[in-house]
Structure 1
Amino acid sequence: MDKRTKISIIGAGFVGSTTAYALMLEGLASEIVIVDINKDKAMAEAMDLSHGAAFVKPVNIISGEYEDTKDSDIVIITAGIGPKPGETRLDIINKNISIFKTMIPQIVKYNPNAILLVVSNPVDVLTYITYKLSGFPSSRVIGSGTVLDTSRFRYMLSEHFNIDARNIHTYIIGEHGDSEIAAWSLTNIAGMSADEYCLKMCANCDSSFKNSIPEAVKNAAYEILNRKGYTNYAVALAVRRIVEAILRDENAILTISSLFTGQYGIDDVYLGIPTVVGKAGAKNILEVSLNEEESSKLHESAGILKEYILKSDI
C-alpha cells in the first residue's frame, strides 16, 4: 500500500464522519480530506478526529474545499439528502441528482485519476449518474452496492444458526434497496447449503427463515432510521472494507455496485453483484450461477432501477 495514500470524503454527515473514523482506525490513509457545504461541521469533524492522533497510525486529517482533494487516490461520496422515515431510497433520487450535477464536475476537475466510490442513496442510481457525469471508465466509478446488505444477511444467518458470521458465505445482490435478492443458491456453511446445514445441524429448524431473514435484511435500514434517524456504523465499516480491497490490491470479491455491460443479459445499469475489486477499482463482474428465480429477480431489479433513471432529471 502506498505510504502517501490520500482519501477524500465528500460529505461530513453521520456516514461521512464515521467513515473517516473507520479509515483512521484502520490506518488506511496518510491524508484524509473532508469536504462539506457546512464548513464548520467539516472543520469540527476533522479537528475531533485529529485530536486522537496519539492513538493511531500517523494521518493528516483536514477539512477543505474541492481543490484540497486534489490528487486523491479515492474520493468517497457520502453527500446528499438521506431518506426520512417513511421514504424509500428511490424517493430521494431527484433531490440528490441536482446535488451531484454540481458536485461531480468539481471532483473530476481535481481528481482525474481517482477512483470514485459512491455511498449516497439511492446508491445504484447515483453511481450510474456519477459514471455519466464524470466521463470516467466504469471500473473507476463504483458504489457501495450490497456490501452492507450482505453483511447484514450473514449476521442474521449467524444469529439464526448460532455460528460465526465470518463462516457463512453468501450474497445479497441487485439493488441496494427494496428489490434486493438473497442469493440462496450461493449460500454455504462449511460447504453445505443452508437447507443441508439446517437439516443436519438444527433439530427444530424449518424453512420459514428463508423468507423472514431476507425480509429483515431488506427492512433493516428502515427500522434503524425509524429508531434513530440515520444509519452510520455498519455502512462505514462496509466502505472501509471496499477501500481496503482497493488500496491493498486484494482482488477481493465484494458485492459493490458495478456497471453491467451484458452480464446476465443486463446492460447499462449499476447493481450490486459479486465483483473482483483491486487497485484499478472494479476489475470484473463474476457471472455466478444463479437459479431461475434469482436470475428473474435480478432482471426485475435492473428494470426497476432503469425505470427510475428514465424518469429522473438527469
Structure 2
Amino acid sequence: MKITVIGAGHVGATAAHRIAEKQLANTVVLLDIVEGIPQGKALDMYESGPVGLFDTMVFGTNDYSDTADSDIVLITAGLARKPGMSREDLLMKNAAIVREVTDQVMQYSKNPIIIMVSNPLDIMTHVGYVRSKLPKERILGMAGVLDSARFRSFIAKELNVSMQDINAFVLGGHGDSMVPVVKYTSVAGIPLTELLPQQTIDQLVERTRKGGAEIVNYLKDGSAYYAPAASCVEMIDAIVNDRKRILPCSALLEGQYGIDNIFIGAPVKLGKNGIEQILEINLDKPEIEALRKSAAIVEENCNNLAPLLA
C-alpha cells in the first residue's frame, strides 16, 4: 500500500504522520511545491518511528514522479482561509491549484482513490472528478466526518459524557449550508431530543456550522488541522482495511435525495474500492429542503468553474 499526501502544510503533514503511526501503508509520500519542507517534515516523521513503534517508510518530495502507482492520494493543497473569508472566497484560486495537482497525480497513478480535503470541499471534489476521469466510486471528499466529529464533541461537552457514546450525521455541503441531522443523533442510543432542550440543540447545530470559522478566528493566520487530519485518516483506515464503515462523505449523487450530478455530503459505505454504496436515509421535509439548498450552492459554484475545467 502506497499513500501520497499532496500538500505538506498543517493538515497534510499531520495526516501523513497519523497514517505512518497507524501503519496504514508501507510507504507514505509527502509532496509539496516548496523545496525542503516535505523532505524535512517527512524525515522528522520517519525518525519518530522507533519511539512511535512504526516501520512505515515516509519520505518527502517536490517531484510528482515519486508518487507513481499510489493506491490512495490525499489532496490537501490550496490556500487556507483567513478571518472573514468564506470557503467560497477561495473558489477560483484553489480550483486552479486542484486542477494542476489532479492532472499531475493522474500522470503517474492510473487508478488511485482520491480523497479531497482542499476547500471549498465539495466543489474541489468536483474539480478532481472532472480532471481525473476516475470512476465516481474512487473520488470522494472529506467533510461530513469532520463536521460530525465537531457536532459530537460539542454534544459531549454539553452533556459531560464520553464522545464514544455519541453518534451523529452531518450531511450537505461543507460550509454554512451543512445539514446536521438531529433525528439521527443519539447518545448511547438515546435520541438527543430526549436529553437536551431544542434551544440548546439549535445552538449546538449553529456552532457546528461555524466550527471551522471559530478556529480560523482564533488562529488568525490559518485554519483547523488536527480534527481534519484525524477525519481523513478515519476514511483511509476504512478503505485500507475494507471495514465497510458508514461515514458521511462528499460523494457524487445521482438522483439520491432528489439531487443529481452533484458532489454533496451523504452517508456512504467505505471499503477497499472506495465508495461501495450511497445510503439514502429518511429525512424530514426541512432537512431535505436544506440538503437540496446546499446542493444548489455547490452546483452554482461548479457551473462558474466550467471554463477553467474545459
- The one-letter code of the counterpart of 2:293 is E
d(CA) in 2 for partners of 1:39 and 1:287?
A: 45
d(CA) in 1 for partners of 2:27 and 2:234?
A: 18
Residue 255 of structure 1 aligns to a residue in which SS? strand
d(CA) in 2 for partners of 1:80 and 1:116?
A: 16
Query: 305, 308, 311: which one pairs with 2:298?
Result: 305
Deviation string 1:223-247 (CA, Å, 9 cap, x unpaired) is 2112113211111100110000000
* 1:214 counterpart = 2:211: no
Name which of structure 1's ranges 114-123 and 182-191 shifts more when overlaid on structure 2: 182-191
Deviation string 1:231-276 (CA, Å, 9 cap, x unpaired) is 1111110011000000000000011111001101101111111100
Query: 13, 27, 31: which one pairs with 1:31?
Result: 27
d(CA) in 2 for partners of 1:80 and 1:196?
A: 42
Aligned to 1:43: 39
Residue 83 of structure 1 aligns to a residue in which SS? coil
d(CA) in 2 for partners of 1:232 and 1:184?
A: 26
Deviation of the 1:284 alpha carbon: 1.2
Name which of structure 1's ranges 95-104 and 12-21 shifts more when overlaid on structure 2: 95-104
Aligned to 1:225: 216
Query: 235, 248, 252: which one pairs with 1:259?
Result: 252
Aligned to 1:162: 160
Alignment length, in residue pairs? Answer: 303
Deviation of the 1:40 alpha carbon: 1.1
Aligned to 2:11: 15
C-alpha contact 1:117 1:142 (8 A) present in aligned 2: yes
Aligned to 2:57: 60
Name which of structure 1's ranges 162-171 and 275-284 shifts more when overlaid on structure 2: 162-171
Aligned to 2:106: 108
Aligned to 1:86: 84
Deviation of the 1:53 alpha carbon: 2.0
Aligned to 2:118: 120
d(CA) in 1 for partners of 2:81 and 2:189?
A: 38
C-alpha contact 1:145 1:271 (8 A) present in aligned 2: no
Identity %: 35
Task: Please identify which structure carries the higher strand content.
Answer: 2
Unaligned runs of 5+ in 2: none
C-alpha contact 1:186 1:290 (8 A) present in aligned 2: no
* 1:296 counterpart = 2:289: yes
d(CA) in 2 for partners of 1:139 and 1:39?
A: 34
Aligned to 2:94: 96
d(CA) in 2 for partners of 1:142 and 1:45?
A: 26
Give the alignment of 1:267-282 within 5 angstroms. 267-282=260-275
Give the alignment of 1:192-211 within 5 angstroms. 192-198=190-196, 206-211=197-202
Unaligned runs of 5+ in 1: 199-205
Runs of 4 or more above 6 Å deviation: none
Deviation string 1:176-232 (CA, Å, 9 cap, x unpaired) is 11100110111122333212234xxxxxxx321121001111112112112113211
Give the alignment of 1:240-255 within 5 angstroms. 240-255=233-248
d(CA) in 1 for partners of 2:16 and 2:106?
A: 21
Deviation of the 1:72 alpha carbon: 1.0
RMSD over aligned Cα atoms? 1.1
d(CA) in 1 for partners of 2:20 and 2:259?
A: 38
Deviation of the 1:143 alpha carbon: 0.7
- The one-letter code of the counterpart of 2:152 is R
Deviation of the 1:175 alpha carbon: 0.7
d(CA) in 1 for partners of 2:264 and 2:198?
A: 28
Deviation string 1:38-73 (CA, Å, 9 cap, x unpaired) is 021111111111111212221111112111111111
Deviation string 1:257-301 (CA, Å, 9 cap, x unpaired) is 110011011011111111000000011110001111101100000
d(CA) in 2 for partners of 1:154 and 1:114?
A: 31
